[in-house]
Homo-oligomer: A and B are copies of this chain.
Amino acid sequence: MPWEKSFDESEVIDKAMHVFWQKGYMATSISDLTAATGIQRGSLYNAFSGKQELFLRSLQKYDREQRCVLLKRLEAIDDPLKAISVLFDAIVQQSMEDPQKKGCFLINTSLTLSEHDDEAQALVSTALKEFTQFFARQIKLGQQREQIPVTVPVRATARALFALVVGIRVMGRGGFDKPALHQVAKQALRLVS
A63 to nearest B CB, angstroms? 14
**Interface check A26, CB cutoff 8 A:** yes
On chain B, the residues within 8 Å of A107 by CB distance are 111, 170
Give Cα distance in the complex from A156 to B168, angstroms.
12
Stoichiometry (number of copies): 2
On chain B, the residues within 8 Å of A27 by CB distance are 26, 114
A163–B164 CB distance below 8 A: yes
Interface size for A (C-beta < 8 A) is 42
B129–A175 CB distance below 8 A: yes
Selected from B111, B168, B174, B186, the residue in CB contact (under 8 A) with A124 is B174
On chain B, the residues within 8 Å of A148 by CB distance are none
> Which A residues fall within an 8 A CB radius of B?
23-24, 26-27, 103, 107-108, 110-112, 114, 124-125, 128-129, 153, 155-157, 159-160, 162-168, 170-171, 173-176, 180, 183-184, 186-188, 190-191
